[in-house]
Structure 1
């Protein structure tokens, strides 16, 4: 199945039996509300519930005391989730640590996420059909198509000369709102944007007119990626987006994602790609989420290399204490310049390490 764009739902109207039923459902534990979406895959997710609820217009995702089990195995335990608007996160961790499962929970809205945040989780290639590659990309924007259909319908009604003034005013106001939303979505340039994205993923104009069933699985995965980029969701979830891409497409995608202005969470085996895209790194280790500001190289500097170099230096210099004198630090800095001349910034990380 092609990935679906998951939009937040508005709360039910107040009053009556329907409202009472909704209130009862909201009072159930989180794992009960997730059963229909995730339990089939053996995933149970829980978290602390905010007594004030989640404001529907918030653009950030903040969840406390989050845990995941997969067929009874604990993958994440008492973690805090913090995904901020305008940040691009690289999710790392050893194989089997639960990275993809965590993404599945986010994609299924398995945690309290503001209604204003729409989510697109790219997991599979698009299914083969008679739709062209270009049509497949444009058609993913269900909201735009729905709005455009309503605009056409209302515009036709406005042509009725016998339309009452009051109804005409109502329709006019609705059309104004719809046109404003289309402007926000840049609907007039939809085809141009779709072509630009496909071209960046190395589709020629001729290939854009080919039916998706005529493409191999790798190329259909590129079409699925183009759909994810085209829809511009508030939260974009990508798992190994550079798979099936040639170097030209990888370079283009790195540049494109480096300008992503919303929330991006991705898993990638390419350190170079993460360096070019990510503003933050999240390390899933020992069933916890550890957050680092900066790209992958910064993460390495701040998490591993200082400790490894300290251990190596102490072993070579017979230094037993974790505290260095000024002279020892200067000698240590000289040691770094000789052994790692291209990483002068290490000294900053070591200052932080010894001052902590």
Structure 2
């Protein structure tokens, strides 16, 4: 299967600002980047400027790189300030009664898998089917959940609904 890739020129000034932690702007400015899918170059020397609070739309024929660009942003293959959270939700979402925030939380696959494994391990212990290794794994899970601040995820993701920077 072909893979998408991105390359981007970076200046020493941008690197210094990012590493110092002084850039707290929620605007996104990416200059001079390329995006490819396999051997096919989709974007060359492109620039992307997104201002907080504005709504944007990506319009174009199939195969021009709209989805690939969004995936490159979400995977941080393109340099986006580290304090900006990016969540890419695929187009094909089943319509149901799931609240929007819950749908967004479920897209955090690491958090969801850790919480699911925690639930399974606790159920095994409660049922008396544990072999003793569960407590060690639970400690690892709790440590990782704390590291990724899983308890703060609902508040963190609810910001999406307060400050929309939607790319359609």
3-state DSSP class of the match of 2:78?
A: coil
Q: How does 1:205-284 map to 2 (within 5 A)?
A: 231-233=158-160, 261-266=163-168
Gaps of 5+ in 2: 112-150
> TM-score scaled by structure 1?
0.28
Q: Deviations over 1:120-148 (max 9, x none)?
A: 1111537xxxxx946x8188287xx9xxx
Distance 1:139 1:92, change over 3 A: closer
Shift of 1:56: 5.0
Distance 1:41 1:84, change over 3 A: farther
Partner of 1:289: none
**Once superposed, which parts of structure 1, at least 4 consecutive aligned residues long, lie more than 4 Å away?**
none
**Contact 2:29–2:49 (CA under 8 A) maintained in structure 1:** yes
**Contact 2:5–2:77 (CA under 8 A) maintained in structure 1:** no
Partner of 2:148: none
Q: How does 1:305-316 map to 2 (within 5 A)?
A: none
Kindly indicate whether residue 40 of structure 2 is the aligned counterpart of residue 73 of structure 1: yes
Partner of 1:117: 84
Kindly indicate whether residue 7 of structure 2 is the aligned counterpart of residue 46 of structure 1: yes
Q: Deviations over 1:251-288 (max 9, x none)?
A: xxxxxx8xx6342111xxxxxxxxxxxxxxxxxxxxxx
Shift of 1:116: 1.3
Counterpart selection for 1:137 from 80, 99, 102: 102
In structure 2, distance between residues paired with 1:106 and 1:138:
20
Gaps of 5+ in 1: 1-39, 127-131, 146-180, 188-229, 234-256, 267-356
In structure 2, distance between residues paired with 1:73 and 1:138:
33
In structure 2, distance between residues paired with 1:138 and 1:44:
27
> TM-score scaled by structure 2?
0.56
Counterpart selection for 1:99 from 35, 41, 66: 66
Counterpart selection for 2:29 from 44, 62, 67: 62
Structure with higher helix content: 1
Shift of 1:49: 0.8
In structure 2, distance between residues paired with 1:58 and 1:115:
11
State the structure with more CA Rg. 1
